[in-house]
């Protein structure tokens, strides 16, 4: 792999680092607008080679017959490699998606923890002996699919890559990882770490390139047997269509428009901190961002005023600045999209309580920065209330009582996450049961654990990643009968 940051970065197929200029593209630092690297882009030849290489590697006895404890040991060595390269990985993520340094470091640590977790799952999860209904012994065992394609987004690349690659390898598959063009470098580094850890060549391949030119043909390739995707709902739908043609299983973790709910009896200081963290951390580029705030009418005005005052003091700065709390948007194109949505809301009569503009600070003028923004006076059918913005934009809304709240909160095509603030645990329980969302946080928000299954209701996705069953996502069950 070329070490110079200015040379063309190669993709990894088998144990070969392959440079390909014809589909190459630039990795851009969103904090400064400068080009970080030039990255190879796969053509059909590399796509075919990657699928063929992965297919041959997964059938080799060295991998096919490797016992679970030995596979687990490899995953632990990958975790150690991630820890040993933590600074490099965090820096690559920071210069490619602009997340603040502390968050990049935390995400690297979480990626290593994910590999260790699935090492544990790999060597402890059992096949089953099922109850016989005759003179036989019946068992269920779990086989890998073969070649799994993992497609990851740019907002939390390493976290998502670990969440897919670790369980898919634990399950005995070979993986082709297609990272977002915005954040290819951490994935390439992960490929290098895997080879150094002793993963057989071809079991993890990193194929870079643009989504439509590389991701699409990989999904359609007959040699790919399962796809695990995280990204936007429109792309997820296109992948599901292509998978239907092949009758191929997919796991889709898609967009969200998560309601964050504050009842009048809540601990308001704690709720304000959580609402701010829930939407402005990572500049709002999080699938679980609490982007619709619902405050009970009796406290709405004072709560939203205090919230806006505190959010206004967030420090928007270069991601490696010492006390930075919010970095830039991950790309200039994404900032344009956010600006377009806020401007449309303004034209439709929204009140801009905070932000709604780029920061005035000259030091940030060349980056894709956007201020924390709070919109109010919105109709329930406003585009900003209904569509995912994927930026630091909070829609402040109110509700009267539980029934009104549930009707508004569930009035969305999405159902990824939600948060409820109240000291009444009976009410919290009632609301948690009625919310149409894959995760419900009560008196906390964005609490994520690798041991708890995660995924969406409705158009927020299909399937559940993480947890023990996160390994089963990458396996198919097989019944075996021994006549007695
Ligand atoms: P996409 O869904 O387009 O990108 C996610 C991944 O899919 C990337 O690796 C992308 O590659 C790849 N991809 C793109 N098109 C195809 C295709 N036709 N076939 C296979 N793979 C493809 O997200 P965007 O970057 O365009 O963001 C659009 C919106 O999606 C955001 O504004 C946000 O609303 C949402 N989103 C949600 C995320 C989540 O975590 N739920 C994460 C990211 C985005 P490449 O980057 O090279 O195009």
In sequence order, what are the beta bridge partners of 442?
Answer: 420
* Residue burial 149-162, b: 16+ Cβ < 10 Å; e: rest: bbbbbbbbbbbbbb
Ligand 1, atom 45, residue with closest C-alpha: 211
Does residue 195 have a pLDDT over 50? yes
Q: How far apart are CA 96 and CA 353, in angstroms?
A: 31
User: Could you tell me if the CB of 58 is within 6 A of ligand 1?
Assistant: no
Question: 323 pLDDT exceeds 70?
Answer: yes
Q: What is the pLDDT of residue 417?
A: 98
- Phi, psi angles (nearest 5°) of residue 54: -65, -40
Average pLDDT, integer, range 349-353: 97
pLDDT at 2 over 70: no
Percent of the chain topping pLDDT 70: 99
397: left (phi over 0), alpha (psi -120 to 50) or beta: beta
Q: Is 287 one of the catalytic residues?
A: yes
CA-atom Rg of the chain in angstroms: 23
Q: In angstroms, what is the span from residue 152 Cα to ligand 1's centroid?
A: 8
Cβ partners under 8 Å of residue 404, min gap 6: none
Cβ atoms of 30 and 338 within 8 Å: the answer is no
Is residue 229 predicted with pLDDT exceeding 70? yes
Q: What span, in angstroms and rounded, lies between the C-alpha atoms of 263 and 251?
A: 35
Choosing from 122, 287, 395, 466, which is the catalytic residue?
287
Taking all residues of the chain, what is their mean pLDDT, rounded to a whole number?
97
Residue having the nearest C-alpha atom to atom 8 of ligand 1: 180
Asked whether 328 lines ligand 1 (CB < 6 A), one says no
Cα dist. 346→187, 290, 357, 359 in Å? 39, 21, 12, 18
- Give strand pairing partners of 148: 175, 226
- In terms of DSSP H, where are the helices of 391-475? 402-409, 425-434, 469-472
pLDDT tens for each residue of 17-40 = 999 999 999 999 999 999 999 999
Q: What is the mean pLDDT of residues 332-361?
A: 98
Confidence bin at 329 (pLDDT 50/70/90)? very high
Is this structure's pTM higher than 0.85? yes
DSSP class of 202 = T
Residues facing residue 458 across a β-bridge? 414
Q: Which CATH number fits the domain 259-449, given the four candidates 3.50.50.60, 3.40.50.2000, 3.40.50.720, 3.40.309.10? A: 3.40.309.10
User: Stretch 368-396: mean pLDDT, rounded?
Assistant: 97
Residue 1: pLDDT over 60:
no
- Please name the residues in contact with 190: beta carbons below 8 A apart, sequence gap of 6 or more: 82, 89, 158, 161, 165, 177, 204, 206
Quote the ligand 1 centre to 182 CA distance (angstroms).
10
Mean pLDDT of 68-74: 98
CA distance 166 to 14: 18
Please write the tens of the pLDDT for every residue from 267-287.
Answer: 999 999 999 999 999 999 999
Tell me whether residue 164 is one of the annotated catalytic residues: yes
Please tell me whether residue 328 adopts helix, strand or coil conformation: coil
Taking residues 349-377, what's their average pLDDT? 98
* Known catalytic residue at 465: yes
Strands, E assignment, 113-171: 128-130, 136-144, 147-151
Does 5 have pLDDT greater than 90? no
Terminal-to-terminal C-alpha distance of the chain = 56
Distance CA(333)–CA(31), nearest Å, equals 13
pLDDT class for 7, splitting at 50, 70, 90? confident
Q: How far apart are CA 339 and CA 452, in angstroms?
A: 35
pLDDT of residue 355: 98
324 lines ligand 1 (CB under 6 A): no
| Domain 5-254+460-483 class in CATH | alpha beta
208 CB less than 6 Å from ligand 1?
no
Domain ranges of the chain: 5-254+460-483, 259-449
Percent of the chain clearing pLDDT 90 (strictly above): 99
DSSP string covering 44-67, please? HHHHHHHHHHHHHHHHSHHHHT--
pLDDT score for 219: 98
C-alpha 382/C-alpha 356 separation (Å) is 16
| Atom 40 of ligand 1, residue of closest alpha carbon | 287
Residues written for the chain? 484
The mean per-residue pLDDT over the stretch 421-444 comes to 98
Rounded average pLDDT over 65-71 = 98
Tell me: pLDDT of 264 over 50: yes
Say if ligand 1 is within 6 A of residue 210 CB.
yes
Q: Is the pLDDT of residue 127 over 80?
A: yes
Angle at 235 between CA 43 and CA 106, to 5 degrees: 90
How open is the CA angle 384-236-150, to the nearest 5 degrees? 130
Residue having the nearest C-alpha atom to atom 22 of ligand 1: 211
Whether the per-residue pLDDT at 179 is higher than 90: the answer is yes
Q: How far apart are CA 170 and CA 58, in angstroms?
A: 12
| Cα 303 to Cα 79, 258, 275, 296, 365, distances in angstroms | 43, 19, 11, 9, 32
* Torsion 189-190-195-198 (CA) sign: positive
184 lines ligand 1 (CB under 6 A): no
| pLDDT (mean) for 467-475 | 97
């Amino acid at each position: 792999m070329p070490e110079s940051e200015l040379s063309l970065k190669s993709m990894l197929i088998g144990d070969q680092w392959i440079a390909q200029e014809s589909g190459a593209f630039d990795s851009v630092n969103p904090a400064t607008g400068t080009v970080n690297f030039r990255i190879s882009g796969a053509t059909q030849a590399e796509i075919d080679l990657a699928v063929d290489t992965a297919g041959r590697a997964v059938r080799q006895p060295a991998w096919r017959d490797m016992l679970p404890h030995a596979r687990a040991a490899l995953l632990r060595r990958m975790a150690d490699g991630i820890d040993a390269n933590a600074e490099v990985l965090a820096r690559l993520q920071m210069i490619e998606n602009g997340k603040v340094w502390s968050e990049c470091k935390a995400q690297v640590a979480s990626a290593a923890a994910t590999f260790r977790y699935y090492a544990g799952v790999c060597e402890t999860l059992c096949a089953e002996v099922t109850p016989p209904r005759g003179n036989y012994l019946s068992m269920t065992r779990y086989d890998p699919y073969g070649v799994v394609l993992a497609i990851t987004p740019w907002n939390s690349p390493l976290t998502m890559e670990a969440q897919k690659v670790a369980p898919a390898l634990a399950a005995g598959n070979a993986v082709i990882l297609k990272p977002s063009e915005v954040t290819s470098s951490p994935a390439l580094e992960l490929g290098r770490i895997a080879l150094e850890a002793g993963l057989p060549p071809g079991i993890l391949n990193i194929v870079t390139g643009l989504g439509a030119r590389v991701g699409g043909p990989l999904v359609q390739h007959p040699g790919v047997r399962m796809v695990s995707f995280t990204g936007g709902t429109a792309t997820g739908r296109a992948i599901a269509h292509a998978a239907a043609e092949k009758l191929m299983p997919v796991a889709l973790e898609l967009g969200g428009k998560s309601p964050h709910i504050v009842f009048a009896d809540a601990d308001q200081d704690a709720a304000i901190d959580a609402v701010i963290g829930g939407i402005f951390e990572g500049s709002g580029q999080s699938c679980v961002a609490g982007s619709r705030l619902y405050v009970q009418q009796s406290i709405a005005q004072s709560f939203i005023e205090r919230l806006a005052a505190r959010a206004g003091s967030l420090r928007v700065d270069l991601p490696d600045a010492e006390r930075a709390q919010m970095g830039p948007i991950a790309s200039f194109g994404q900032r344009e999209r956010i600006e377009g949505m806020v401007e449309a809301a303004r034209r439709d009569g929204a009140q801009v309580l905070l932000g709604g503009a780029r920061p005035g600070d000259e030091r940030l003028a060349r980056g894709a920065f956007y201020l924390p923004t709070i919109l109010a006076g919105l109709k329930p059918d406003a585009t900003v209330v209904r569509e995912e913005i994927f930026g630091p934009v909070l829609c402040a809304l109110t509700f009267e009582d539980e029934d009104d709240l549930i009707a508004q909160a569930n009035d969305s095509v999405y159902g990824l996450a939600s948060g409820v603030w109240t000291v009444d645990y009976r009410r919290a329980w009632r609301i948690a049961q009625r919310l149409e969302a894959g995760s419900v946080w009560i008196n906390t928000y964005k609490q994520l654990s690798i041991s708890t299954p995660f995924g969406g209701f409705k158009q927020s996705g299909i399937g559940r990643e993480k947890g023990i069953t996160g390994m089963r996502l990458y396996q198919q069950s097989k019944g075996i009968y021994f006549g007695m």
